[in-house]
Amino acid sequence: MSGTTAQLEHGQVICPYCLEIVIYDERALYVRNDKMQYERLDITKHTNPLRRADVLRGAFQLCGNTEGVAHHYIPVPYLTHGRPLTVAMVGTSGTGKSHLLTQMIAEVTDGGLEPYGVIWQSLNPTDHSVFIKERVATLRAGEQLEATAQTPFAEFVEALLLTGTDGQVRPVAFFDLGGEDLVRTDALLRFLLGVDALVFVVDPLLACALPQLDEAREQYGLAVSKSDPAFETVLDRLPREGGYLDVAMALVVGKADLLRFEPPVDRWLSRPATDPLDPRRLREESRDVYAFLRHHAGPAWLRPFDSTLRCTLHFASATGGQPTHGRFPHGVRSHRVLGPLLSILAMCGLLDEGVDHRSSRVGM
């Protein structure tokens, strides 16, 4: 929990965009019309409770803070459920952030969290169906997703309401900026100071000097690099308390299909997708990823792990294979994409499986 979050009073929520405190206010509500423009909503007109609840589900509140920032609107359910959790994907352009996030959300909406006692609902039904149509359905049809465009204002791309076994609902919102935006040092990245969790995506093509990756590197015109500039910028931007960052982190070696014959990656990739969340196994996988990166990548790739007390490490593949001319002709098959999300949810108190978060840190 960040310092500001700890001081919040009942009903107060941090604006995910400008980080000012917001309180739900029925006098500042808007709805989006067919042209995606915001129009004033007079909720007092809706006296039928069922209809009123449905209208509010799709409504937004204008954030009162306009100082130096564009007008921005927060979905009402974000303000009227429990303490929100925000997650940001980090990695330079092309590391696979968007494919990984898409497959994580797809697994959740396929019911992947149900074995853990968590059920989901969309935060905003319209935005959710756009995400499913433009991202999940596209990828499942074998189309590669496009690179994320640069933006003048960082908004989350998808958000869910997750209900845990204790019946508590919490909004969980995901930011997925393009790699070029993530190296900016201006106000665009200020939202990062308020995020609860970060998913660092390591591209083995950039990190690992393994000769079997040379062909793919050549195909993309890539070279092995000492570090990821987006990791560096983001880690540098966040405030540290006592030398450590106060955020939960997952460090994911993505595109693990490219390493599928490489021990110990082969062992992890062949495990069942729905492992019970076991702290011992999280620790084992973290230790294996740590050792793998220590051996095959420069030390800076492990900087996220060294920066926080709450970090687990994972192998994952979002697509199961390489694209050919922008397509996956044999379809996409993800492997272990839910693991990093489960770990973050556990670290942030959304799963009550009793994981001792300090023990999920690798004891090196």
State in Å, rounded, how far the first CA of the chain is from the last one. 25
CB atoms within 10 A of CB 236: 11
Cα separations (Å) of 173 from 160, 212, 285, 305, 335? Answer: 6, 37, 26, 22, 22
**Residue 319 lies near Mg ion (rule: CB under 5 A):** no
Query: Residue with structure tokens 């540098």?
Result: 236
SS3 195: coil
The one among 61, 95, 98, 122 contacting Mg ion by CB under 5 A: 98
**Residue 148 lies near Mg ion (rule: CB under 5 A):** yes
**What's the min distance (Å) between Cβ of 122 and Mg ion?**
21
**Residue 87 lies near Zn ion (rule: CB under 5 A):** no
**What's the min distance (Å) between Cβ of 151 and ligand GTP?**
11
**What's the min distance (Å) between Cβ of 60 and Zn ion?**
12
**What's the min distance (Å) between Cβ of 201 and ligand GTP?**
6
**What's the min distance (Å) between Cβ of 296 and Zn ion?**
42
**Residue 173 lies near Zn ion (rule: CB under 5 A):** no
Which residues are at the interface with ligand GTP (CB under 6 A)? Answer: 91, 93-99, 144-145, 147-148, 178-179, 254-255, 257-258, 317-319, 321-323
> From the CA atom positions of the chain, what is the Rg in Å?
20
Binding partner at 99 among Mg ion, ligand GTP, Zn ion, none, C-beta below 5 to 8 Å by kind: ligand GTP
SS3 20: coil
Q: By CB under 5 A, which span of 7-15, 55-63, 94-102, 286-294 interacts with Mg ion?
A: 94-102
**Residue 92 lies near Mg ion (rule: CB under 5 A):** no
Work out whether strand 240-241 and strand 244-245 pair parallel, antiparallel, or are unpaired: antiparallel
CB atoms within 10 A of CB 358: 10
Q: What is the Cα–Cα distance from 128 to 160, expressed in whole angstroms? A: 8
The answer to whether the beta carbons of residues 57 and 161 sit under 8 Å apart is no
Can you give the binding site for Zn ion, defined by CB under 5 A? 15, 17-18, 63, 65
Can you give the binding site for Mg ion, defined by CB under 5 A? 97-98, 148
